[in-house]
Amino acid sequence: MSLAAQVLVRRGPVTVDVALEVADGEVLAVLGPNGAGKSTLLRVLAGLLPPDGGRVAVDGTTWDDVAARVHLPAHRRPLGMVFQDHLLFPHLSVLENVAFGPRTRGASRAAARTAAAAWIGRVGLDGLGGRRPGQLSGGQAQRAALARALVGDPALLLLDEPLSALDARTRLAVRAELRRHLTDYAGSAVLVTHDPVDAMALADRVVVVEDGRVVQAGTPSDVARHPRTDYVARLVGLSLLPGTADGLTVRLDGGGVVAVAVPADGPVLVAVRPESVALYLSRPEGSPRNAWPLTVAGATPHGATVRCELDGQVPLLADVTATAFAELGLAPGSPVWAVVKASEVAVYAR
C-alpha cells in the first residue's frame, strides 16, 4: 500500500507540477506558503479536481492517468480527508457525521453507527455523539472531523491544514493527538500545512512547495538544518545567504564576506540562526570573526525576545532580549554592529 503521484495542474498564474511518493504508514508533509499550490495538489489527490497531466496511483490502483484518460471520481476513492475548518455537516449530529462515510459506502445503518461510535470514543469525544457540530469547541470539531475521515480505514488520508483554524493552546493538544492517530494509521497520509511546526511534529518526510514546485524534500530535521530557500529559512528562523565559498571565507552574492569554521568550496548557502547574532552599538573588539555594520529595518516582539530585521550588505535576523533591545535604544533606522562567531555559521553546498 502506498501513494505514487505525479501531478500537473495549470491554474491561473501558478502551474503546479509535483511528484510525490508516500509509503505505507508514512506521513508526508507538504509545506509551503499560501498560494503555493498545496491545496490544489490535495484536491487532485482527493479526486475533486482532475489534473491536467500526470498520474495518481494508490496501492497499485490507478486513480488518475491523464494520458490514459483515467479519472476515478472522488466518491469512488477509498480515502479520508480532514479540512481546515472541519466541514462537519451542520444539520447532522456528530455520530451521523462520522457514520456518513460508512453509510454511503454501503454499510448497514447499525454497522455504520457502531463503527462511528467506536471512532468517536477513540478521538476522545465519548458522550458527544448526539451533539450538533455547532455545539462543539474548535478542537472537538476537528477531532470529530478526524474520526469521520478515518472511520472507513481509508487507503489514503489527506489532511488540509488540519490545525490552522485552532487557537494556540488547542492546537498543541490536537496536534499531539493527531500524532498518535497518525502513528496508528496504516495507510499513506499527506498533510498540507504552512506551519513548519506541524510538519516537523507530525511528518516522517517533508516536501517544501513554492510556486507549484518542490524546492526541497527530506526528513524534517534535515530540512530544518539545511533550508534551501528563503521561505524555509524564515520558517525555521534561519537567515539564508547565497554566496561562493573559498576555504574559510564565503563571498556573498549580495556583497560582504562571512567567515566560517568549516572549509567549503564553490556555490554555498550560509545559514545564520537569529539567536546567534549579537548586536552592538559600536564595533566590538573580541574573538568573533564576523562583524558587520547594519541598520535595523524592523523589530517584532517574539515572546521574551525581539526579532530584529537587519538590512545592509549581510541581511540578517537577530533575536535579542527585550531588555537588551531597550537598553541599546534600538529603533527602526538605528545603525548597529551585528556580530556572529564563525562557528555559529552553517555552510552547505547549493
Partner 1 sequence: MRRARTPAPLLVPAALAVVFLVLPLAGLLIRTPWSQLGTLLTAPGVGQALRLSLVSATLATAVSVVLGVPLAWVLARSRARGRAVLRALVTVPLVLPPVVGGVALFLVLGRQGIVGSWLAETTGITIPFTTTAVVIAETFVAMPFLVISVEGALRAADVRYEDAAATLGADRWTTFRRVTLPLVAPGVAAGSVLCWARALGEFGATITFAGNFPGTTQTMPLAVYLALQRDPQAAIVLSLVLLVVSVATLLLLRDRWLGRGAAA
Per CB under 8 A, the segment of 80-88, 279-287, 314-322, 328-336 that binds partner 1 is 80-88
Binding partner 1 (rule: CB under 8 A), the pick from 1, 19, 105, 334 is: 105
* Beta-bridge partner residues of 240: 271
Q: What is the DSSP string of 292-349?
A: EEEEEEEEEEETTEEEEEEESSS-EEEEEEHHHHHHTT--TT-EEEEEE-GGGEEEEE
Q: Tell whether residue 101 is a contact of partner 1 (CB under 8 A).
A: yes
Shortest reach from residue 190's CB to partner 1, in Å: 13
* Sequence letter at residue 48: L
Q: Is 63 in the site for partner 1 (CB under 8 A)?
A: no
In sequence order, the 6+-apart residues with CB closer than 8 A to the CB of 23 are 2, 188
Three cell numbers written together for 169 = 493552546
Q: Smallest Cα–Cα separation from 45: which of 15, 67, 11, 22?
A: 22
Task: Kindly determine how many residues on this chain lie close enough to bind partner 1 according to the rule CB under 8 A.
Answer: 26
CA 278/CA 339 separation, integer angstroms: 5
- 148 near partner 1, rule: CB under 8 A: yes
187 sits near partner 1 (criterion: CB under 8 A): no
72 binds partner 1 (CB under 8 A): no
Q: In the complex with partner 1, which residue's Cβ is closer, 48 or 297? A: 48
Rule CB under 8 A: say whether 73 interacts with partner 1. Answer: yes
The residue (of 122 and 148) whose beta carbon lies closer to partner 1 is 148
Q: Which is nearer to partner 1, 77 or 122 (CB)?
A: 77
Residue 92, C-alpha cell as written in the block: 447532522
74 binds partner 1 (CB under 8 A): yes
- Should residue 144 be labelled a site residue for partner 1 when binding is judged by CB under 8 A? no
User: In the bound complex, what is the minimum distance in angstroms from residue 117's beta carbon to partner 1?
Assistant: 17
Buried b (16+ CB within 10 A) or exposed e, 122-153: bbebeebbebebeebebbbbbbbbbbbbbbbe
CB 344 within 8 A of CB 285: no
8 A C-beta contact, residue 1 and residue 185: no
- Collapsing DSSP to helix, strand or coil, 57 comes out as strand
Contacts (CB under 8 A) with partner 1, residues 14-53: 43, 46-48
Q: Cell triple for residue 62? A: 490507478
Would you count residue 90 as binding partner 1 (CB under 8 A)? yes
Measured in degrees and rounded to the nearest 5, phi and psi for residue 205 equal -140, 155
Q: Which is nearer to partner 1, 103 or 234 (CB)?
A: 103
Binding residue (CB under 8 A) for partner 1 from 34, 67, 75, 303: 75
Contact residue for partner 1 among 11, 24, 89, 343 (CB under 8 A): 89
| 81 binds partner 1, rule: CB under 8 A | yes
The answer to the question of residue 350 lying near partner 1 (CB under 8 A) is no
Residue numbers of the site for partner 1 (CB under 8 A)? Answer: 43, 46-48, 73-77, 79-81, 83, 87, 89-92, 100-101, 104-105, 148-149, 152, 158
